[in-house]
Chain A
Amino acid sequence: MCGIVGLHLRNPELYPRLGELLTSMLCEMEERGADSAGVAVYGDPVWSPPGTVTVSVLESGLSAEQLAAAVGDTLGTAVTVEEADQTQLVSMPLAEHSDDDGADPATAAETLKKAVLQAAPGALISGFGQDLAVLKGVGHPRALAEAYGLRQAQGWQGVGHTRMATESAVTPGGCHPYAVGEGQCMVHNGSFSNHATIRRELTRRGVEFDSENDTEVGARFIAEKMASGAGVKEAVDALAQAFDGFYTLLVSNRDSFAVVRDAIACKPAVIAETEDWVAMASEYRALADLPGIENARLYEPEPNHIYAWSRNAESRNEASGSGQSPARAARQREMSDA
């Protein structure tokens, strides 16, 4: 079964409430999957401070202090480590000048990820990038949301997943979201039946895997397509051609949010939109607590059609050539006040 939820906030006044709203959505989907739960939060000022890149780490075997010291030594620069339940969030400041090494978030995240794996070779990297924190765990979704401190989280976008395992073991590595590209996440309701075949093909091309999970194969397939220049639509179309199985997918990165269902569309999905937010969930009841839901435009996504929203596209319309959108400027002000 599994439950998925996603919330993309358009109104910055709601950013401080992201965690509270996402918690209610996630907990409402606990009956669809009660063996694990994971969330990705975009823009929390504690978990992924502005001006840094963050790597989300599970099973490092080190304390926060040990991990910060070891990674700092390797990089020759100070890093911070926040803890949320079992996840350690390692953040490194981005270089200030755009021509410096380490100013590009993708490169910086890659550097930090390598340093973490050098300090903690057995660790599981559950997410990496600018403004992104990924928290995963095994257990009851409601208990996990409390353990993560999800209710207090802030930011502009979040996705969540409640898991009922079908294709691989109940472990943190088998838990969604799968964050396999810089700032990218994917959550999945459904199952891919030919994932082992595609995993072998990807492995031959040098792709490495963290788990035996079918969704991870889908996420890495999409990440590989996008790394070679495909857009999200092209990548998802390629997935539809290559994979056998059922899916409702939510694919996010730090600025966008996309929903797609397979052609048969037996896995459910509901989308709700208001001026203040866009939300999707496996079922309407996960959306019932959102502010203004009574006047939201509610619809079921059509099969084989990609629905995507982009924070940049929306804010670009408002921007006046300053290079920084008003929405982002407002967010930074708000985060620094917080």
Chain B
Amino acid sequence: MSTVTDTRTFNLADTPLREVNRALHQDDVAGSIAISNPRGAHSVAAGVNAPVEITIEGHVGYYAAGMNQQASITIAGNAGVGVAENMMSGRVHVRGNASQSAGATAHGGLLVIDGDAAARCGISMKGVDIVVGGSIGHMSAFMAQAGRLVVRGDAGDALGDSIYEARLYVKGQVASLGADCVAKEMRQEHHDELRELLDAAGYPEDDTSDYTRYGSARQLYHFKTDNLSAY
């Protein structure tokens, strides 16, 4: 059995992606794994379900580290559409920027993006924690149901449109809030959970009092007879 000090390397320039992903899906996969030459390929290290450390050395295409469970996956580059989509647990760290729909529908785990994330970051998030070092694009946290989204930069238009119970913390400017998303008071419990998230993501220098919390006004998600004529 391999140990953490042995790094197994797959080179996508000479090994087909399916072969690499199949190896990552084996029951006995363990230790530390490096994947080189991703060159924007889709679905790199998707569907891993083991407590392994994976480093992808370069830019990836769509759905990288999708459906992740348990693994700690670092992308030393940019990520395309839907990085860590539907993650269940573990940790995904993008050292560059992420394209749209980062962390979409994810149920658990921690997604850290050092750079910016584009539109629809955390769309329909269902329990994941997302920390973005830079800014996020429009329609982020659309219909976000649960989990926390932390943004150290700015947020684009319509943040948190039709949001349910996810909690959003933004340090910079919000271009506009979506329907039913409002700024909320930062109570001690919120400072505490934000502190924990920033520390976990590698931003211990941030002051939690620089952040504003946003969440649901809870006006949209119950049917109201007053609105009957609208249907």
What residues of chain A have their CB less than 8 Å away from a CB belonging to chain B?
264-266, 268, 270, 283-288, 298-300, 302-303
Cα distance A298–B116 in the bound complex, in angstroms? 12
Contact assessment for B40 and A288 in the assembled complex, using a CB-CB cutoff below 8 Å: yes
Contact assessment for A284 and B138 in the assembled complex, using a CB-CB cutoff below 8 Å: no
Cα distance A73–B185 in the bound complex, in angstroms? 82
B56, chain A: closest CB distance, angstroms: 13
Contact assessment for A285 and B61 in the assembled complex, using a CB-CB cutoff below 8 Å: yes
Within 8 A of A (CB), among B27-83: 39-41, 59, 61-62, 78, 80-81
Cα distance A253–B102 in the bound complex, in angstroms? 35
Q: Provide the residues of chain A in CB contact with B80, threshold 8 Å.
A: 268, 283-284
Q: How many Cβ-Cβ contacts under 8 Å join chain A to chain B?
A: 45
Interface SS majority for chain A: loop
What are 18 A-B pairs with beta-carbon distances under 8 A?
Answer: A265-B119, A266-B100, A270-B99, A283-B40, A283-B61, A283-B80, A284-B59, A284-B80, A285-B39, A285-B40, A285-B41, A287-B40, A288-B39, A298-B59, A298-B96, A298-B97, A300-B99, A303-B138
Q: Does B194 sit within 8 A of A, measured CB to CB?
A: no
What residues of chain B have their CB less than 8 Å away from a CB belonging to chain A?
39-41, 59, 61-62, 78, 80-81, 96-97, 99-100, 118-119, 137-139
Residue of A nearest to B78 (CB): A298
Known: A268-B99, A288-B40. 5 other contacts (CB 8 A): A265-B118, A268-B80, A283-B40, A283-B62, A288-B39
Cα distance A300–B78 in the bound complex, in angstroms? 11
Cα distance A299–B137 in the bound complex, in angstroms? 13
Q: Provide the residues of chain A in CB contact with B100, threshold 8 Å.
A: 265-266, 268, 300
A189, chain B: closest CB distance, angstroms: 13
Cα distance A266–B97 in the bound complex, in angstroms? 17
Q: Which of A265, A270, A302 has the most CB of B within 10 A?
A: A265
Q: Provide the residues of chain B in CB contact with A299, threshold 8 Å.
A: 97
Q: Provide the residues of chain A in CB contact with B99, threshold 8 Å.
A: 268, 270, 300
Cα distance A266–B137 in the bound complex, in angstroms? 12
A269, chain B: closest CB distance, angstroms: 10
Cα distance A288–B41 in the bound complex, in angstroms? 10
Q: Provide the residues of chain A in CB contact with B137, threshold 8 Å.
A: 265, 302-303
